[in-house]
Structure 1
């Protein structure tokens, strides 16, 4: 499954940073049209997580993953066939739906196949994802140096071919046993009725709090670049270097950090250092607005390190708690709902980050306090709802 992640994320890296440029340079759309297209298609894609999660409880995951990869490939190839705005919007929406759906099904597959080592597996998976994005980004940067219509089309074709390659690789993956099937037939008892996550108040509140904790992504990718330009004396060229630093730290430290969240209770306890990291990162970002270029640069580098640490800690906590809180018989549906946390962050996070930039240093301090309080609230929320620690099943299928 890790090879699948590498191929998939490399394809994403080819397209993610060039999509807007493709729509302007090749399809001839205006900037406002591109913004609306990306926003609307992303809004449609939000439905992908809960829909796919619910279906995943009812059919083999490998079969569903193959179908979703083919949907993504067809949507990407379809973008090459037209310049009509309505059709571009339709194809982009289908692709966005497929992306979100494939993401939650892949997470469910990983949770089942990794068994007792799911936290470490997720850490390795994130490391591989970052390597894939970097490889795709490097290839995209080379193509952008040419900046011709043919180069943009080649990047889109490469993205589509990566989905076909992932579908082919998935054919070789074994199907992991579903916890719901084990529960139903392990001792001859009657199958447990599936539970709806939409009626589980604790899980919905947990998902909402996780959306807030995911704001570190928008702060890093949207807030910091704008802050560097509009509020600090640091060089504008520092922004992409901080992104490189972020990726390098994740590649080298995500796996070692995973051992601190190897159990559900240990993952819950990581919410304490996560809260401290958020406060320190926000303080460093606020401090970068004072002093000369060297001080601003040092403060921004400290911010990048702290927010990357927060990103890694949060990924461990979010992965473990989202699975542990989901009942076995409805695991897919629950993880599908949890996928809405990232969708909500991607929609509202940039607005929160830009508002903080406009409001000034105290806004970052306030955001750090909100994130820390959310960590505290989430830790209390899940305390009485986590299952007792039990030996986890071994990996159930070859990945």
Structure 2
């Protein structure tokens, strides 16, 4: 009995109830599958498909850019249709696009299939965020922190499994990793089918499972994020604040190789450190922002952490392996804290600033920031590396200015009340 009560108490601590727990399993499976594939995708195109390095770069760059359109499109679809149905379609599309890669070595077809997969991936990210926001209510910050912790654990599991498979180094091993990622989307689809449709501020769900506008007329999007100057400015600043991703995943390994005396094997270890910090600290840090105003206040320590990390990156090129290792470890720690603080602030502010009757459309526009950073972030970071150590503090100063601009942009739109969550109903008809 005691063990049963403890298990029940643990379940109660997960916002969103049974569906909240299912979505956490989906997040774990999703990132485990992604961890299997993303680290070897470029190698697959080069070694298995036989593409030259230049074509691999073009393929991954263009497909990543194509994904930018997925976020706003998925958001608008979620405002007009059942969210779970749109999410399932995105998951199945990702599985189909991945399996299609096995059917050809033609550059044009590989580019097409990769672009379709990227489009569905960015759309699914927005839909998952929207689902989490709707089921977790006033505890959305805490739920998002838990979800991100689970996601990072999945990344680590998938990455370690991929590393093990790569020791085999055969064409078959690469194909197995790709198929493993595709199967993860099939499993996610099965779990999503068991999730209830979350309540929406703009529509009700009838007993037959049909989404209708709350006034019983066809769903019409009253608010348009593309005409919301404040939200567009907020999204523009977000593009730069997502740079921690490019710095840690692209800039750090390249900087180690080209500018420091640190051993090259340090690069994957720093990524593991990043994942572990998120796993152990993200949920605790979420308590720092129980309200939108507190989320806005996190932009100050975020800027401080990012600048400190940039200064440490610059210091690491000062000479000698011990100094480089110490500076890079310290940079990884403070940049990871900047990443976690931004995640909390971004999550709360993006939802608080969104109009209730078009949450999906607004979050879709916000998703453009992350998608754009995936395309432009590596270019900016590699430019910093090309300039050398003096460029890192300049990048830090750019982020400080961006944080200051965002604080000003969102100030007048934050609610006076302690929480920004509005009541949501579900029709019983």
TM-score, scaled relative to structure 2: 0.89
Which residue in 1 is equivalent to 2:168?
A: 146
Are the counterparts in 1 of residues 201 and 422 from structure 2 also a CA contact under 8 Å?
Answer: no
Which residue in 1 is equivalent to 2:329?
A: 301
Which residue in 2 is equivalent to 1:108?
A: 130
Q: 1:352 aligns with which of 380, 401, 404?
A: 380
Are the counterparts in 1 of residues 35 and 154 from structure 2 also a CA contact under 8 Å?
Answer: yes
Inter-partner Cα distance in structure 2 for 1:252 and 1:116: 23
Which residue in 2 is equivalent to 1:126?
A: 148
Are the counterparts in 1 of residues 291 and 418 from structure 2 also a CA contact under 8 Å?
Answer: no
Residues 158-191 of structure 1, C-alpha deviation per residue, up to 9 Å, x if partnerless? 11110010000001101111111269649x9999
Which residue in 2 is equivalent to 1:227?
A: 255
Q: For the structure 1 residues 335 and 166, does the alpha-carbon distance in structure 2 shift closer, same or farther, using more than 3 Å as the test? A: same
Q: For the structure 1 residues 57 and 33, does the alpha-carbon distance in structure 2 shift closer, same or farther, using more than 3 Å as the test? A: same
Q: 1:76 aligns with which of 75, 98, 106?
A: 98
Please state if 1:194 is matched with 2:222.
yes
Shift of 1:390: 5.2
Inter-partner Cα distance in structure 2 for 1:161 and 1:291: 47
Please state if 1:285 is matched with 2:307.
no
Which residue in 2 is equivalent to 1:258?
A: 286
Which residue in 1 is equivalent to 2:268?
A: 240
Which residue in 2 is equivalent to 1:180?
A: 202
Which secondary structure state, in structure 1, belongs to the residue aligned with residue 390 of structure 2?
helix
Which residue in 2 is equivalent to 1:156?
A: 178
Shift of 1:395: 9.4
Are the counterparts in 1 of residues 80 and 219 from structure 2 also a CA contact under 8 Å?
Answer: no
Which residue in 2 is equivalent to 1:334?
A: 362
Q: For the structure 1 residues 147 and 356, does the alpha-carbon distance in structure 2 shift closer, same or farther, using more than 3 Å as the test? A: same
Please state if 1:23 is matched with 2:51.
no
Inter-partner Cα distance in structure 1 for 2:178 and 2:319: 44
Which residue in 1 is equivalent to 2:108?
A: 86
Shift of 1:396: 8.3
Which residue in 1 is equivalent to 2:71?
A: 49
Q: For the structure 1 residues 252 and 234, does the alpha-carbon distance in structure 2 shift closer, same or farther, using more than 3 Å as the test? A: same
Q: For the structure 1 residues 172 and 393, does the alpha-carbon distance in structure 2 shift closer, same or farther, using more than 3 Å as the test? A: farther
**Structure 1: which 5+ runs fail to align?**
none
TM-score, scaled relative to structure 1: 0.95
Q: For the structure 1 residues 189 and 18, does the alpha-carbon distance in structure 2 shift closer, same or farther, using more than 3 Å as the test? A: closer
Please state if 1:208 is matched with 2:230.
no
Are the counterparts in 2 of residues 264 and 389 from structure 1 also a CA contact under 8 Å?
Answer: no
Please state if 1:321 is matched with 2:349.
yes
Inter-partner Cα distance in structure 2 for 1:33 and 1:360: 28
Which residue in 2 is equivalent to 1:66?
A: 88
Inter-partner Cα distance in structure 2 for 1:242 and 1:200: 40
Inter-partner Cα distance in structure 2 for 1:146 and 1:287: 38
Kindly report the root-mean-square deviation, in angstroms, between the aligned alpha carbons of the 2 structures. Answer: 2.0
User: Where in structure 2 are the equivalents of 1:357-396 lying within 5 Å?
Assistant: 357-389=385-417, 391=419, 392=421
Are the counterparts in 2 of residues 325 and 387 from structure 1 also a CA contact under 8 Å?
Answer: no
Inter-partner Cα distance in structure 2 for 1:102 and 1:154: 23
Residues 302-361 of structure 1, C-alpha deviation per residue, up to 9 Å, x if partnerless? 101000000000000111101110011011001001101011111111111111111122
Which residue in 1 is equivalent to 2:55?
A: 33
Which secondary structure state, in structure 1, belongs to the residue aligned with residue 222 of structure 2?
coil
Which residue in 2 is equivalent to 1:271?
A: 299
Residues 88-139 of structure 1, C-alpha deviation per residue, up to 9 Å, x if partnerless? 1111111111101111111111110111100011101111111111111111
Q: For the structure 1 residues 50 and 323, does the alpha-carbon distance in structure 2 shift closer, same or farther, using more than 3 Å as the test? A: same
Query: Once structures 1 and 2 are overlaid, which stretch shifts more, 242-251 or 76-85?
Result: 76-85
Shift of 1:83: 1.4
Shift of 1:279: 1.6
